[in-house]
Structure formats: C-alpha cells, structure tokens
Amino acid sequence: MLDYEAEAAHYDETRGGVPRAAAAAGAVLRLLPPGTRTLLDLACGTGLVTERIVRPGLTVYGADAAHAMLRVASVRLPGRTVRADARRLPLPAGALDAVSAVWLLHLVPFTEEIVAEAARVLRPGGVLLTTVDKDASHDVGSDIDALLRPHRSHAEGRDGARRVTALAAAHGLDPAPGTRFTGHGQGATPRGTATRLRRGYYASWFHGTDTDAAALGAALAALPDQDRPRPEPGYRLARFVRRG
Ligand SMILES: C[S@@+](CC[C@H](N)C(=O)[O-])C[C@H]1O[C@@H](n2cnc3c(N)ncnc32)[C@H](O)[C@@H]1O
C-alpha cells in the first residue's frame, strides 16, 4: 500500500479533486435509505468525499488510519473525525445507520475483518456501501489496460465483487442493488501508471518478482502519448443491508 502519511500533501489534486469526490459522494447518497441519520465514512482520507455526503439531518463521521490524511479531514469535518483502524472501530455494536468505504478494500489484505467490523457497528437494516472491483474499473480497453490486465488478473480478489459479497453474507449483510460513479480525472497516462508502479502501488501484483515489474515499466515507457489520459473509469459502489 502507498504511504498515506506522505500522500496527504498532494492526495486531492492527484485523485480527481472535487469532480471525482462529488461523483463518489453522489453515489453514496443515492444508495442511502430514507431516514438514514448517521453515517461513518471509513478510510475517509482527506475528507474530500466525506464532506460532500453531509446533509441536513444526516450526521457524517470520518475515520482513517493515517494521521496526515486525517489532519486534512479534521478541518473539513470539525469534531467528526477519529483516527482508527477500520478493523477496530471505537463504537458499540449497532451504533450506525450506514457505513461507507470509498477506495479502501482494494488496498488491504484483511477485507474480511473490515467487512465484519462494519457489520458489527451497523444496526439491523443499516447499510454498508463499498467500492468493489476498483482496479478492474480502469479496464476500459486502452493500451495501458492491455499491459496491466495479465498482471491484474493474478491479483484479483481483495475487493472483487463476488468475494466481498460472500464475505458480507457470512457476516449478516445481504446484497442490494448498487450504483456506479465516474472517476473524473482518473483516466490513466502511461507516465503516471509507470510512476505508480515505481512507487509500489501495484506491489501486491508481483509478489517480489521484480523482473515482471521491470518489464511492465519498460512496456509502459514505450507506449505513445506518455501524458495523454486514457478514458475515465466507472467505479462500482456495492450496497449491503444488515440483517435484522
Ligand atoms: C485511496 S485513499 C481513499 C480516501 C477516501 N475514501 C477517498 O475516496 O478520497 C485510502 C485511505 O485508506 C486509509 N486506510 C488504509 N488502511 C486503513 C485501515 N486499515 N483503516 C483505516 N483507514 C485505512 C488510508 O490512510 C487512506 O486515507
């Protein structure tokens, strides 16, 4: 995983800024049942998405593990942020109407612990909204995708929709229709993808086989139009309802 203590300084400007955040927040709001009064945004990061979920009558909290990300979020959500690992939330069982997790599950190897913890803090009828298939959402048929796809297929699983749905069911969460949002400003460039590769974003794909990573880096560097963004991805937001 990237070092989010270091990412905080330039996170917003490199992740699609307000247009991406507004699209993600809009997707969360579309899936909230009427009457939802409390929501915890897990892995809220800088709070750019979280602050856009806030509505009259809906109290929105943010939790994140990284100090530096949370420092930015605490300005956007004064008094409503907490530093916490998503596996161990400082909340009693059944405390919340909704939990959201935008761009978290693809990052971590402990998907089940997070899903179980979200289920624990939701009341019966409460909803978990989470992105699934995040990296596969970038598969929009570009020349970059053609290079990444063989490596990505080995790594699928962390936030794979089928896997997350099975884990959710095992922890008392039933699937319900989800939605999608556009990753504004997230169209990949060859140079940007190579930089992410060097910075370790795809480390879990290679399991220490540096020669494969080096070959991918060389292939990315050979693509034309190094700074031209390819098409924007459409991210999936899945919904699960806590059984009564
Ligand atoms: C890609 S960012 C997403 C931030 C925000 N949800 C957004 O969409 O802009 C991932 C965030 O997950 C946080 N994170 C990673 N592992 C975590 C964990 N175990 N518990 C809580 N937060 C975690 C990181 O610190 C980072 O802020």
The answer on pLDDT for 206 being more than 90 is no
* Pocket of ligand 1 from Cβ distances under 6 Å: 4, 15, 24, 43-45, 48-49, 64-66, 69, 85-87, 102-104, 107-108
**Residue 226 in 3-state DSSP?**
coil
In a domain, 206, yes or no: no
In a domain, 91, yes or no: yes
Question: Which range has highest mean pLDDT (14-18, 65-69, 158-162, 201-205)?
Answer: 65-69
Range of the domain at 78: 4-135+156-186+232-242
User: CATH number, domain at 117?
Assistant: 3.40.50.150
Neighbours of 141 (CB within 10 A): 10
Of ligand 1's atoms, which has the minimum distance to the CA of residue 108?
A: 16
E-strand spans in 65-155? Answer: 81-83, 96-101, 122-132
The alpha-carbon radius of gyration of the chain (Å, integer) is: 18
**Ligand 1 pocket mutation pick from 107, 112, 131, 199 by most atoms within 8 angstroms of CB:** 107
Quick one: which H or E segment has residue 22? helix 17-31
Closest CA relative to residue 136, chosen from 101, 170, 183? 183
In a domain, 200, yes or no: no
Q: Which token pair is 42?
A: 């897990």
In a domain, 59, yes or no: yes
Domain count, the chain: 1
Q: What is the pLDDT of residues 25-74, one digit of tens each?
A: 999 999 999 999 999 999 999 999 999 999 999 999 999 999 999 999 99
Residues 6+ apart with CB under 8 A from 99: 39, 40, 41, 42, 118, 121, 122, 126, 127, 128, 129
Q: What is the pLDDT of residues 93-142, one digit of tens each?
A: 999 999 999 999 998 989 999 999 999 999 999 999 999 999 888 878 89
In a domain, 225, yes or no: no
In a domain, 21, yes or no: yes
The answer on pLDDT for 202 being more than 90 is no
In a domain, 46, yes or no: yes
Of 76-90, 109-123, 206-220, least confident by mean pLDDT is 206-220
d(CA 58, CA 95) in angstroms, rounded, equals: 14
In a domain, 144, yes or no: no
